[in-house]
Structure 1
Amino acid sequence: MQVDKVINNNLIRSHDEKGQEVLVMGCGIGFKKKSGEYIDDGKVEKVYVLRKEERQHMEELFSSMPLECIQATNEIVEYATISLGKQLSNYLYLNLCDHIHFAIQRSKGGNPIQNALLTEIKRFYNHEYQIGMESLNIIKRKTGVFLPEDEAGFIAMHLVNASMDFHDMGHTQEMMKIIRLWKELISTIIIKKISPCSRKWDLRHSV
């Protein structure tokens, strides 16, 4: 693949062998690179195949995110995809990375967010909750910050939101109520965030 545009030292816009526009992520992959030069395959950590509107949002978010948050997000999404055995929306990368970064900032500031729905999430979405708990270990390994159990619940619901079919009759009224309450809770958190740009993509679940 060749460089179309260097977004930052860790992110490049390119085209794959099928001619699809992609974002290529890797530590130092864009350092001193210029348009038209070949990408070092040995530095490629992740290739994102995205629609135009997704790419624009991802470029905007990832250009301002610490590399370790992006790496943690990639590993969590990969782990969740295998564990759940289903396709997850590309917007999960955006929503989850944004949330993890914000949660780390809050935790470092001694002001973590309590998850009022944690008990219900454990009951109705235990598989996703268990993935959320493993995600905390991934985040700790990548960033050095161990987030509280409440965040496992938030991550679980991001996974539910990224994978659910709203026409799936397997979702009971109680489960749908939890999803609605979670979105209301997350929306309240977003309003309090320092960076307003993330509101553009939060809670989308298009596949």
Structure 2
Amino acid sequence: MSDSPSHPVAWQHQPADRVLMTLKTRGPQSVAVIAKAMDVTAEAVRQQMARLHAEGLVDSESQSAGRGRPTQIWFLTEAGHGRFPDTHAEMTVQMIGAIRQVFGEDGVEKLIQARETAMLNGYRQAMQGARSLKERLERLVEVRSAEGYMAELRKDGKDYLFIENHCPICSAAKACMGFCRSELELFHKVLGDEVQVRREEHILAGARRCAYRIEKS
């Protein structure tokens, strides 16, 4: 599997933001790995880690790799993940609750279907002129990244991995799992009948990201 995404994430300008973004998109890492990814010194990363740790945005744990001193592995805390936007979270959850109370589950399902239809129309417009599966996936990366999903595409043997490092509707998805089901169906419809889409990692199941395996039927 290639470690280089075809659609690199745009870094923030502040060093602390770059550290947070690196942990968000790459998962738990050592200072040395983060420094290499950011092209800065390990000491510069340690300074940022001390600041971020004091703010409660990152934490670390020791991992032993055989002989020698254990390595400190840094990761985002819940507060650290909270630094990335969850679109109108409180209002959205309240709205879902109100729809459920007034119209029942059928009302919530109609809301999800209406959202899926609107997104499908927009995505199909974005796919115009994209002939190959790779081109369609690259267009999908662009659209989803613009929507805040921090998407990237990686090749894995004969398959593709479509990765979303962030979920800007996480609170809504927690309130109603139908949003996750709908998005999986949306990918099926956008990418075509000749491919299979399988979710292998899921943020709501405890993973740090959502990852989908895309393979030709």
Q: Fold match, TM over 0.5?
A: no
For Structure 1 versus Structure 2, the TM-score category normalised by the shorter chain is: under 0.3
Pick the structure with greater CA Rg: 2
Normalising by the residue count of structure 1, what TM-score does the alignment of the two structures yield?
Answer: 0.26
Larger strand share, 1 or 2 = 2
TM-score, length of structure 2 as denominator length: 0.25
